[in-house]
Structure 1
Amino acid sequence: MEILKFTLSGDTAFFKKPDVNSYYYFTYGNIHKIALMGIMGAILGFGGYNQQKIKNDIKKSSKSKELAVYPEFYERLKDIELSIVPLQDKGYTNKKVQVFNNSVGYASKEEGGNLIVKEQWLEKPIWDIYISLNDEKYTEELRDILKEFKERMINRNFVYIPYLGKNDHYANITDVKIYEDAKKTYLKQGEITDIYGLALDSMFSLENDSMEEDDLFETEVKWKYQERLPIELENSWNQYITSSCINTNFKLRAKSETYIFEIDGKRLFFL
């Protein structure tokens, strides 16, 4: 199995949660699968939400019934499998609320047209990203797309500049590697393993009920990060479909049969 790996980082990042209040815009605590598809789409030159809206408006004016269900980047990449590995201590990225003015004329209907924006940003985020390039479930079209993506990553030939959520947050892409012989391992229901990076809570349970005698003298601090992150788009309004994801140094027990990849001695779960 061929796997492409790269390190993704930035000074700041903002992956907007749709459930906002009147005072702050909040961010997810990690990059998620849809945001990664967006970055891949930018590198490949695929259209996003704005292009989808423009095309659909044109089709509506011509009374066409064949409207685009998804933005192009998602339509063409939705079947990819990838792994997200947060590299921050204990899987947690610090957050800080930023306050700034948006004074473009259409930003606010208030007097003076000045909108005060309060956003929660991730500080110094960094992840290792692993993307399966030739899974047996992929269509021939998707394999060709990922072949082009691989070449663009190796040659640093991006169509659009990739961002971490929006264009205030430039993305750094480094340490691009290709693993040509990644090992795919199947886990039986009830099997216990370590998982490096994010895993679906629906597939694993935390194995912390029983401790061996040696664990009493273990100096490593045990930790767990858990959050509902977007993994799909629904086909009516392109809203996020989320799933609970975990990242931990506890051992995990498989709730049902699944598979993982072994790369550089690390066991990775692919979303």
Structure 2
Amino acid sequence: MKALKFNISGKTAFFKKPDVNTYYYFTYGSIHKVALLGIVGAILGLKGYNQQENNRYPEFYELLKDLDIAIVPKNEEGSISKKVQIFNNSVGYASEEKGGNLIVKEQWLENPRWVVYIKLDGYENNQIDDICKEIEERFLKRNFVYIPYLGKNDHIANIDNMSVVDMNTTKQEKINSLFFKDDFKISLEQDEDWDFDDTESLWKYEEKLPISLEERTNQYETRTMIATNMKLDINNDLNLYKDEENVLFFF
């Protein structure tokens, strides 16, 4: 199997959660699949939410939703620092308060970094195969139609170290990427054969992240995902892949 591999990072990022109030907007703690498909869609020049009109999904999601991806967190212990940013929205319709000012607070991720893999072959859909060829070409040539952002246009995405890598199946007991919590179990038995650096502390990042859009409302559908350096009980019914650097779960 072949996959496109690239680094994606930024000074800040904001992947807005839908459960917000009027004054405080929270972010997911990691880039997620829907956001990543949006970034790929921008690079390909596909239409987004603002151009959806009466279509079932935004164009980027309709065409890219069947892509298999893997996301490897690169911040320390899989966790990204957050900081609250305060804005004064003085647009007249923004607030009914005196002066028309509305104080808005946004929670931003600071210095986020990931390695992303996109599966390029093995699909049973000719349209996806054609899209993968264009994805590979545009990434390797850095020929982006639109500027990619990490959530919104305040947060420019830096994309580099693009390459196509060979992936092989594996049954290793450690996964470097995010994976579904329901599909694996953290093992409390660290046997002698377990490859672990004694100077490294055990850690786990866990959060419900968007993996798809609901068809009727286009609201996020989420699943609990985990990143950890702990040993796992591997489900033999699921395929894991590895390159020279990482063991990956594609979804």
Q: Write the letter of the residue equivalent to 1:121.
A: W
Match for residue 158 of structure 2? 172
1:115-154 maps to which residues of 2 (within 5 A)? 115-137=102-124, 139-154=125-140
Secondary structure of the residue aligned to 2:131 is helix
* Cα distance, 1:254 vs structure 2: 2.7
State the Cα deviation string for residues 89-113 of structure 1 (Å, max 9, x = none). 1000000111111223333333323
Q: SS of the counterpart of 1:28?
A: coil
Aligned residue pairs: how many? Answer: 250
The SS at the match of 1:117 is strand
Query: Residues 265 and 97 from structure 1, CA distance in 2 versus in 1: closer, same or farther, beyond 3 angstroms?
Result: closer
Q: Which residue of 2 aligns with 1:184?
A: 169
Matched, 1:219 2:199: yes
- Tell me the CA shift for residue 171 of structure 1: 0.5
Residues 49, 220 of structure 1: CA spacing in aligned structure 2 closer, same or farther, 3 A cutoff?
same
Residues 159 and 194 (structure 1), Cα distance of their counterparts in 2 relative to 1, 3 Å cut: same
User: Where does residue 50 of structure 2 map in the other structure?
Assistant: 50
TM-score, normalised with respect to structure 2: 0.94
Task: Tell me the equivalent position of 1:63.
Answer: none
Structure 1 stretch displaced more, 68-77 or 106-115: 106-115
Per-residue CA distance 1:8-61 (angstroms, 9 max, x = gap) = 000000000101134411100000000000000000111111101xx32xxxxx
Alpha-carbon distance between aligned partners in 2 of 1:79 and 1:47, rounded to the nearest angstrom = 17
Name the CA distance, whole Å, in 1 between partners of 2:241 and 2:76: 23
Q: Is the 8 A contact 2:23 2:103 kept in 1?
A: no
Structure 1, unmatched stretches of 5+, are 57-67
Q: Which amino acid aligns with 1:129?
A: V
Structure 1 counterpart SS, 2:24? coil
Name the stretch that deviates more: 107-116 or 26-35: 107-116
Deviation, 1:252, is 1.1
Q: Which residue of 2 aligns with 1:239?
A: 219
Residues 7 and 115 in structure 2, CA contact (< 8 A), matched pair in contact too: yes
Contact 1:202 1:255 in 2 (8 A): no
209, 212, 225: which one aligns with 1:229: 209
Structure 2 residue corresponding to 1:203, chosen from 180, 183, 193: 183
Does the CA contact (< 8 Å) of 1:16 and 1:26 recur in 2?
A: yes
Relative to 1, partners in 2 of residues 1:217 and 1:236: Cα closer, same or farther, differing over 3 Å? Answer: closer
Q: CA deviation at 1:143?
A: 1.0
Give the superposed CA RMSD: 1.8
- Secondary structure at the aligned position of 2:227 is classed as strand
Q: CA deviation at 1:145?
A: 1.1
Secondary structure at the residue paired with 2:99?
coil
Whole-Å separation in 2 of the counterparts to 1:177 and 1:144: 18
Report the alpha carbon displacement of residue 116 of structure 1 after superposing the two structures with TM.
1.1
What residue in structure 2 maps to residue 7 of structure 1?
Answer: 7
CA distance in 2, matches of 1:42, 1:213: 47
Distance 1:162 1:105 in 2: 30
SS of equivalent residue, structure 1 residue 173: strand
Larger-gyration structure (1/2): 1
CA-CA distance at 1:174 after TM superposition: 0.7
